[in-house]
Chains A and B, each alone.
Chain A
Amino acid sequence: MNGVHDMGGLQDFGPVRVEKNEPVFHADWERRIYGIDRSLRAHGKWNLDAWRFEIESLPPVDYLRMTYYERWLQINCQLAVKHGLLTVSELASGKSDPGADKYKPALTEEIAMRKKGRSIPSSFDPSVAPRFEVGQRVRARNINPATHTRLPRYARGKVGLIALDHGVYLLPDSNAHFKGEKRQHVYSVSFSAREIWGQQAPEKDTLRLDLWDDHLEHA
């Protein structure tokens, strides 16, 4: 989706502001929504890609106005309703609906302590063949889906070189919409800064993007 989240190359947001001695969390509610988010995701009703798309789908004005963890609060409410963990009336009343199901937490203290498993399947699965080889010239496809994609706008249509093959990962573009776990190779693709930004860019500078087979075509 060509959303406001796709920020690469936008201008006029001002200087990067660094807070000295920044704490990990700025308020107790940030701690709690962080933990709530992880705990709800552990129920397995939505995957990380769907979670990202929910954030990207916030109305642009809200996205820009909200702090990072305000977005988390917002989308956890939305996802919990969409996926049937909470109802609209429960959110409104702050109380469980009469007769509603009682769940068992998916993430208990014990599981949280020893949770070290991989939540995003990724591997060097030999049954999935790569479409491209290291050293090959590729063009990032010019696609503009209204759905989730990890191919940023600034790279579309640009030509680069396959620098590394990272192995096999699920394609987020379909996984975010629960349309199957499409397994594909992901490559580190090297673009010259001038290919992306034109002659204003320093000659030697480069960008690296991690892109899936579906994002690329031969060039």
Chain B
Amino acid sequence: MDPTRRNVIAAAGVAVAPSLSVAGEPAHDHGHDHDHSDVPSDPALRVKALESLLVEKGLVDPAALDVLVDRFEHRVGPRDGARVVARAWADPAFKQRLLSDTPTALVEMGYNADQGEHMMVVENTPQVHNLVVCTLCSCYPWAILGLPPVWYKSAPYRSRAIIDPRGVLKEFGTDVSPDIEVRVWDSTAEVRYIVLPERPIGAENLNESELAALVTRNSMIGVGKALAPGATA
């Protein structure tokens, strides 16, 4: 960053942005189990001050903000992706449409890619195991998986998923035979990838909603496989 801009930004801060320079907490690694609301509330106070300023200026509408949050907290999430996978397992013609033109097949199920991103479903087979990452930021198929988990956005996953995918898979309890190609998709453009996991053995007679219960978020990112019938996440 150019030094002039850094000074301007550093000067920008009492009420809303006090720690725009490097002050503050020590390194804080994420993906662990503590309750984040117990962290000292510096960002909480700053966000509160920022929201109140933006509302005063008319730049944001708090009710619209509630709607945006509610959408990804309560209405869109991995259950949506699981429905799509279950339909693909149950209906071979739908599966073909899903693989050849994902956005259209999703519209058929009532979904819209709201970020303008092209979605693309990639299929796990006995020959290929797919894994999705975004090494540069946090690109993820929001429209049918919701917001990504912290680990997906974390440095360990972003750095290692491409250089040591099999090591990462092992940490998730997923062993992929050396005979199988591990194909890692780095989401460097606006295409968003969802893995179609293999249908587990023994799931042949289940209906769509029973099948959907076997589809985990991890299996649609590719770090895991679908659950065996009778197993729990």
Contacts and interface: CB of A to CB of B under 8 A. Distances in A.
Interface of A: 5-11, 13-20, 22, 24-36, 38-40, 43, 52, 55-59, 61-62, 64-65, 67-70, 73-74, 76-78, 80-82, 85-86, 88, 90-96, 100-105, 107-113, 115-122, 150-152, 154, 166-167, 169, 186, 188, 193, 196-197, 202, 204-212
Interface string B172-211: 1000001111111111111100000000000000000000
Contacts of B187: 210
Contact of A96 (B11, B25, B43, B56): B56
Instruction: Give chain B's interface residue range (CB within 8 Å of chain A).
Output: 35 or more
A215 to B, nearest CB: 9
B16 A22 contact: no
B17 A105 contact: no
B83 interface: no
A43 B12 CA distance: 21
Contacts, number: 325
Given A8-B136, A32-B51, A152-B135, 16 more contacts: A17-B32, A17-B156, A18-B151, A29-B43, A31-B69, A32-B48, A35-B68, A59-B1, A61-B22, A86-B53, A94-B49, A95-B53, A105-B58, A115-B114, A206-B184, A208-B183
Contacts of A152: 135-136, 186, 188
Nearest to B184: A207
A33 B42 CA distance: 13
Contacts of B56: 95-96
B162 interface: yes
A120 B119 CA distance: 13
B58 A77 contact: no
Contact of B136 (A33, A90, A94, A150): A150
